[in-house]
Structure 1
Amino acid sequence: MTLKMKVYSDYVCPFCFLGKKLLEETIKGKDIVVEWMPFELQPYPTPPVDPWNDPGKLEGWKTVILPYAKKWGIDMKLPPFSPHPYTHLAFEGFQYAKEHGKANEYNDRVFTAFFQEGQNIGEIDVLTKLASEIGLNAEEFKNALETRKYKDTHLATLRHAYEEANIHAVPTFVIGKQVVQGIRSKKVFEKIINQELKNETFNPSAGLACDMENHGP
């Protein structure tokens, strides 16, 4: 039996990056299909997050995010941008990648570029380079972003997330019929997956997540 999952996330959410890595380790080798779903924490023109000029968020990185990353063996660092970039262009690029059969590869490359390599994923040239690295047509991809070819498609996915799926914070994992907000340990992920495969319900305690007001620590 193939278990289907949807994961709502934003490329600038540190908990989404942590949750993505933990989930991928958990489902490795299992018959599970994951569909990544866009969610913008700070849609333009909402003021973007600026952790380098927010002592509270810097402290959150040091005392919450980095300790969890170390605990789970995940390499990540605070991207060197002030403020963080908007992600609508990155997600429009995701729609192009999805149309060309490389949604998962693109999703992974953008997350890694931001949280491990410190690349500015708000810039078209950076996104184009990342797309070409996973085998997408660079010229066609760049043109799609410059002309906003996938703008309406992306906005439709956001309306789905905000209005239909009622997503308020990310990461949110829809595992079979269960909706789980916030990251979990591999052990808890495994329990949720096993219970869903057995058509049983498991309600874990709240996990770490970014919402549209606080955007994490």
Structure 2
Amino acid sequence: MTAQIHIWSDYVCPFCLIADEVIERAIADLPDVEVVHHAHELRPRPAPTLRPEDPYLPDIWRRVVYPMARRHDVPVQLPSVSPQPYTELAFRGAQYALDQGRADAYHRRIMTAFFREDLDIGNREVLARLAGEAGLDPVAYTAALDDAEYAERHRQELAESERLDITVVPTIIIGDRRIQGVADEGVIRRALHEAFAA
């Protein structure tokens, strides 16, 4: 029996990167667990995205993000990209990566590129290079970004997120457990134990 961890996240959410790494550690010795990533855009177009030079981001990072990252031993830095990128294109690319069996590698590469390498993940050329590093064909990937099918699949993902009333990222669903925000490894493992026992 395989248990699934469903996680809703956005590529510009530092708490999502922290949650990813905590989950990775929690399931390191559990072969029958699959992590399924779902899209949730925090600020879809045309809403303006945040700017790191404005007071909000440096303040929330100083007070909340950096302390949480240190507690969970996850390297992360406030990106200087301004304004922060929209993530719709990257999520369309995620649909292509899923079809190619590279969803996990792609998700991880986009997350780390933004929060550890300060790369603009809203830029097509940057995305194509990262896709290549995740094991995808950069040319086919670039074409997929403009493919109506992938755009529609992403819209359906967002509609599903709304139907499930996802308002916080990360939101993690394991069996009947719904966890909003970053959970400790013990919480993840207990939820998996309950799911396996059900």
Q: Give your verdict on TM over 0.5.
A: yes
Once residues 106 and 181 of structure 1 are traced to their aligned partners in structure 2, the CA distance between those partners, rounded to angstroms, is: 23
Once residues 120 and 146 of structure 2 are traced to their aligned partners in structure 1, the CA distance between those partners, rounded to angstroms, is: 17
Does residue 13 of structure 1 match 2:13?
yes
Q: 190-199 or 42-51: which moved more?
A: 190-199
Once residues 175 and 51 of structure 1 are traced to their aligned partners in structure 2, the CA distance between those partners, rounded to angstroms, is: 34
Structure 1 letter corresponding to 2:88: H
Structure 1 letter corresponding to 2:173: V
Once residues 94 and 194 of structure 2 are traced to their aligned partners in structure 1, the CA distance between those partners, rounded to angstroms, is: 31
Check the 8 A contact 2:175/2:191 in 1, yes or no.
no
- Residue 167 of structure 1 corresponds to 166
Q: Percent identity among equivalent residues?
A: 36
Q: How does 1:83-162 map to 2 (within 5 A)?
A: 83-147=83-147, 149-162=149-162
Q: 140-149 or 107-116: which moved more?
A: 140-149
Once residues 99 and 29 of structure 1 are traced to their aligned partners in structure 2, the CA distance between those partners, rounded to angstroms, is: 27
Check the 8 A contact 1:87/1:122 in 2, yes or no.
yes
SS in 1 for 2:135: coil
- Residue 186 of structure 2 corresponds to 187
- Residue 79 of structure 1 corresponds to 79
Once residues 72 and 165 of structure 2 are traced to their aligned partners in structure 1, the CA distance between those partners, rounded to angstroms, is: 29
| Deviation readout 1:58-104 (Å, 9 max, x if unpaired) | 11101211111112111110011111100000000001101111111
SS in 2 for 1:193: helix
Give the Å deviation of 1:146.
4.0
SS in 1 for 2:53: helix
Count of residue pairs the alignment pairs up = 197
- Residue 42 of structure 1 corresponds to 43
- Residue 207 of structure 1 corresponds to none
| Deviation readout 1:168-204 (Å, 9 max, x if unpaired) | 11101110122111111112222222233233xxxxx
Once residues 128 and 91 of structure 2 are traced to their aligned partners in structure 1, the CA distance between those partners, rounded to angstroms, is: 12
Check the 8 A contact 1:95/1:153 in 2, yes or no.
yes
Structure 2 letter corresponding to 1:169: V
> Judging changes above 3 Å, is the alpha-carbon distance between structure 1 residues 143 and 11 closer, same or farther for their aligned structure 2 residues?
same
| Deviation readout 1:148-171 (Å, 9 max, x if unpaired) | 551111111111111x22211110
Once residues 148 and 41 of structure 1 are traced to their aligned partners in structure 2, the CA distance between those partners, rounded to angstroms, is: 22
Structure 1 letter corresponding to 2:73: G
Check the 8 A contact 1:19/1:184 in 2, yes or no.
yes
RMSD: 1.3
Structure 2 letter corresponding to 1:41: L
Structure 2 letter corresponding to 1:52: E
Check the 8 A contact 2:8/2:169 in 1, yes or no.
yes
Check the 8 A contact 2:50/2:57 in 1, yes or no.
no
Once residues 38 and 130 of structure 1 are traced to their aligned partners in structure 2, the CA distance between those partners, rounded to angstroms, is: 18
